[in-house]
């Protein structure tokens, strides 16, 4: 994997920030975009901008072909069995809310249980809180181990005949924990429950085979995997999606409309009301082409090596706390002793290094960690060991700066 050649495909990386070569370590928030994706979106708007599905003119046909072609690329990318199981959404948040609204509120009742973990992003907590309130179901949490992982023994102990939904992140956006989704899905199914996976931090970084995982739903966002913002994917098993009602009603998703009743299109279009995110889907298709040309195995291997290098370099520092397990995805969440993470991020930014600081949309996890906020450096296919070295040097500078009483 030629990282130097890959970096040359990302125009934004070739600049200085605050007088220093730019180091981008915030890909868990959003990834940067390669020129191939930028050009694919630009070409759509310049040469065949048109609505899809509705017209028979040349540009409309070309736009429809590109839009539906992107759906097929997504299907292959996550190894779904049918393109009918691929719903385009605004992102992971919209996808999970669709499940919590359309599936959960119809199938849950008082006494039923929804099981999640404390490491979830707010997007995989709040929809289930609301579904529980609306139906009388109970929301329960699998306990975390000291290193931020879960034990399958605890999952087996918690999941019961009352459990109807198990929802879990594939990869924690704070801890870097990689959860055993396939094994948890088996436990859920053994008790008649469905398995919902937040794949926002999974799909960009590792091979995803939804049939192998045997999850019932898998949600992820395009903007974290080199695609534009505003496009995401909800995968769902066809038999579940067919029995779910749409959550948005209007154009595009209908079959017949009468004065007092209407019927819906077949999958996947019944869940895509209104003009869809055409340019975003085309950009997502281009991003998948870009990723697959590199190879997901090569990307995963590169990131695993980088994560190990970063962990070891940072772990060797004095006065730093790293959160999460040693074996992790390519992100490091940390705090420097006696330095607020916002101050850490500010000093790093002055040196041209972009990291994220805050609660990372995971306030329950922050309370479990007994902190109000953390700093996070997240890596992707365009990062290098030199980027990590710059980070470590910047952290040492930050410690020295605040240690001198400034």
Strand 353-354 and strand 23-24: the pairing is parallel
Q: Say how far apart CA 41 and CA 228 lie, in whole Å.
A: 9
Comparing CA positions, the residue from 206, 389, 229 lying closest to residue 309 is 389
Q: Say how far apart CA 359 and CA 368 lie, in whole Å.
A: 12
Comparing CA positions, the residue from 251, 263, 289 lying closest to residue 51 is 251
Distances (CA, A) of 51 to 227, 234, 375, 382: 20, 22, 42, 34
Q: Say how far apart CA 233 and CA 275 lie, in whole Å.
A: 16
Could you tell me if 286 and 32 are in contact, meaning their C-beta atoms sit under 8 angstroms apart?
no
Q: Is 361 a catalytic residue?
A: yes
Q: Say how far apart CA 51 and CA 278 lie, in whole Å.
A: 8
Catalytic: which of 139, 354, 361, 392?
361
Could you tell me if 265 and 248 are in contact, meaning their C-beta atoms sit under 8 angstroms apart?
no
**Residue numbers annotated as active site:** 361
């Amino acid at each position: 994997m030629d990282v130097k050649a890959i970096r040359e495909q990302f125009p934004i990386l070739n600049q200085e920030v605050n007088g220093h070569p730019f180091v981008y370590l915030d890909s868990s928030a959003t990834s940067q975009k390669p020129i191939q994706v930028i050009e694919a979106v630009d070409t759509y708007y310049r040469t065949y901008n048109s609505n899809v599905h509705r017209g028979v003119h040349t540009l409309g046909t070309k736009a429809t072909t590109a839009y539906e072609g992107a759906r097929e690329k997504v299907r292959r990318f996550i190894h779904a069995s049918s393109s009918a199981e691929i719903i385009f959404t605004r992102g992971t948040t919209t996808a999970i809310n669709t499940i919590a609204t359309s599936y959960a509120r119809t199938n849950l009742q008082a006494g039923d249980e929804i099981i999640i973990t404390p490491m979830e992003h707010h997007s995989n907590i709040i929809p289930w809180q609301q579904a529980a309130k609306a139906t009388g179901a109970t929301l329960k949490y699998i306990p975390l181990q000291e290193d931020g992982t879960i034990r399958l023994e605890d999952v087996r102990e918690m999941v019961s005949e009352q459990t109807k939904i198990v929802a879990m992140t594939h990869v924690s956006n704070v801890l870097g924990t990689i959860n055993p989704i396939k094994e948890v899905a088996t436990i859920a199914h053994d008790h008649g429950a469905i398995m919902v996976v937040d794949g926002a931090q999974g799909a960009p970084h590792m091979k995803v085979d939804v049939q192998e995982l045997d999850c019932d739903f898998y949600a992820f966002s395009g903007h974290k995997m080199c695609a534009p913002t505003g496009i995401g994917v909800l995968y769902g098993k066809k038999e579940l999606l067919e029995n779910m009602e749409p959550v948005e009603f209007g154009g595009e998703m209908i079959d017949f409309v009468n004065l007092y009743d209407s019927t819906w299109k077949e999958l996947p279009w019944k869940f895509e009301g209104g003009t869809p995110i055409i340019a975003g889907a085309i950009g997502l298709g281009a991003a998948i082409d870009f990723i697959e040309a590199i190879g997901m195995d090569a990307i995963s291997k590169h990131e695993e090596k980088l994560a190990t290098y970063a962990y070891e370099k940072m772990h060797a520092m004095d006065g730093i706390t790293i959160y999460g397990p040693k074996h992790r995805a390519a992100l490091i969440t940390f705090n420097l002793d006696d330095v607020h993470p916002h101050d850490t991020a500010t000093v790093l930014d002055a040196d041209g290094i972009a990291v994220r600081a805050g609660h990372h949309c995971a306030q329950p996890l922050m309370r479990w960690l007994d902190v109000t906020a953390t700093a996070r450096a997240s890596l992707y296919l365009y990062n290098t060991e030199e980027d990590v070295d710059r980070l470590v040097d910047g952290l040492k500078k930050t410690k020295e700066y605040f240690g001198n009483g400034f």
